[in-house]
Amino acid sequence: MTKYELAVVVSAKLEDDERAKVVDKAKALIERFGGQITNVDEWGKKRLAYEIQKMKEGFYYFIQFEAETSAPAEIESRIRIMDGVIRYLCVKQNEK
């Protein structure tokens, strides 16, 4: 199992319960492809570096998980089309 981190920026236009559903859906995707979530870090509402879809702010979430090497590609392909997600990035974490 390899350690990964999934960064997700969720639209600030969504209500709290809708935003929670988007994050839960992302967590469910990780588990669906055999990943084990180790930590979820919520940074809250932050200003974006540049305007995306006429939005200047977004909610940042960082989900650390362990999974097989094939899982991140599957997870990214599904997060790409999720409503409410304006940016995402899945990276492999360095082994310490």
Confidence of residue 62 (pLDDT cuts 50, 70, 90): very high
CA distances from 69 to 1, 44, 76, 78 (A): 8, 29, 13, 16
Quote the domain boundaries for residue 43. Answer: 2-92
Confidence of residue 4 (pLDDT cuts 50, 70, 90): very high
- Reply yes or no on whether the pLDDT at 96 is more than 70: no
Provide the CATH number for the domain around residue 23.
3.30.70.60
For the chain, the residue count is: 96
CA 96 to chain centre: 23
What does the pLDDT look like over 42-57, one tens digit per residue? 999 999 999 998 999 9
Q: What is the pLDDT of residue 89?
A: 94
Q: How many domains does the chain have?
A: 1
Q: For the sheet containing 85-92, what is the strand order?
A: 36-52, 55-67, 2-11, 85-92
In the three-class reduction of DSSP (H, G, I as helix; E, B as strand; rest coil), residue 93 is classed as coil
